[in-house]
Amino acid sequence: MDESKQKSDYVFRSRARAWIDGAATGLAIASTVLVVMPLVAIFIYLVYKGASSLNLDFFTQIPKPEGESGGGMANAILGSAILLGLASLIGVPIGIGGGIFLAEFGRGTKLAEAVRFTADVLNGVPSIVMGMAVYALVVTPQMPFSALAGGLALGIMMIPTVCRTTEEMLLMVPHAVREAALALGVPNWRSVLSITVKTASPGIITGCMLAFARVAGETAPLIFTAFGNAFWSTSLTRPIAALPLEIYKYANSPYDDQHRQAWAGALVLIVLIVLAVSLVRWVTSRGVLKGAS
């Protein structure tokens, strides 16, 4: 092969490489846009449809009787906050505890296999089924529809996500870090809680937030449990209002004004989820040291 042929070959190949590089970059950018677009589109549409109904009344008033215009969703916003608080109280500790067991204490045991399998199946249980199960087990004539039952249904739905992410995150903590703790004469349980879990905590918090955001918008499990309430109620043992239930009810109503309120409710729900997640991230990231991963 003579020299000029070699040179033209080289030029051709480097041009081809540049082209492939450009195409790959282009594809990556296009995928990014495709991922972000649905969220942005939904958000813009919600603002377009719902922002006009947002006013002070929406956040301070309870719904007006059918057919009257005005009123707000204050009780549903508070109800959702209570339900999600209850759900987190149930789902987060049990989920994290299960994850710690799977990753640290139960590794290789039959019980761990069973727990992992159960968590994965639980993750796939449709939310309406979860609502029915809690209805069948907890809701009785003595203890009717209640905030507690709703919180329980949502909490159970959080468990598998929290549990499995906790396990994954703990397994990512380097073996060297565990050895360092053990070699200092720290008992294993203490090393797990103070070193391994702490090292994995950013990932575990992300898992909790994912689970939280997922159940925050659930409607089906609340239909048979929290039931909804057109009035103020903060009692844990009585039916309670929730944003997704309210959106569902208003979207099905024949009145245009209630349709608009449903849009506004959806907008508020999304914004509140984003705010809650950001708040948790901000609080937990404070005090993080320079250079810590």
**Residues of the shown chain interacting with other proteins in the complex, contacts defined by CB under 8 A:** 108, 174, 176-177, 179-187, 190-191, 194-195, 198-199, 201, 289-293
The DSSP secondary structure of 249-262, one letter per residue, reads HHHTSS-HHHHHHH
Q: Taking the complex as a whole, how short is the minimal distance between the CB of residue 108 and other proteins, in angstroms?
A: 8
Contact 203, 172 (CB under 8 A): yes
**Which CB sits closer to other proteins, 68 or 179?**
179
**Which CB sits closer to other proteins, 173 or 216?**
173
Residues in the chain: 293
Question: Both tokens of residue 158?
Answer: 């959080």
**Which CB sits closer to other proteins, 144 or 174?**
174
The DSSP secondary structure of 63-121, one letter per residue, reads BPPTT---B--HHHHHHHHHHHHHHHHHHHHHHHHHHHIIIIISTT-HHHHHHHHHHHH
Q: Taking the complex as a whole, how short is the minimal distance between the CB of residue 107 and other proteins, in angstroms?
A: 9
- From its phi and psi, is residue 66 left (phi > 0), alpha (psi between -120 and 50) or beta? beta
Q: Taking the complex as a whole, how short is the minimal distance between the CB of residue 8 and other proteins, in angstroms?
A: 45
**Which CB sits closer to other proteins, 205 or 243?**
205
Closest by CA position to 221, among listed 156, 290, 289, 174: 156
**Which CB sits closer to other proteins, 177 or 210?**
177
Q: Taking the complex as a whole, how short is the minimal distance between the CB of residue 2 and other proteins, in angstroms?
A: 48
Spatial distance between the Cα atoms of 207 and 10, rounded to a whole number of angstroms: 49
Q: Taking the complex as a whole, how short is the minimal distance between the CB of residue 291 and other proteins, in angstroms?
A: 2
Q: Taking the complex as a whole, how short is the minimal distance between the CB of residue 204 and other proteins, in angstroms?
A: 12
**Which CB sits closer to other proteins, 9 or 179?**
179
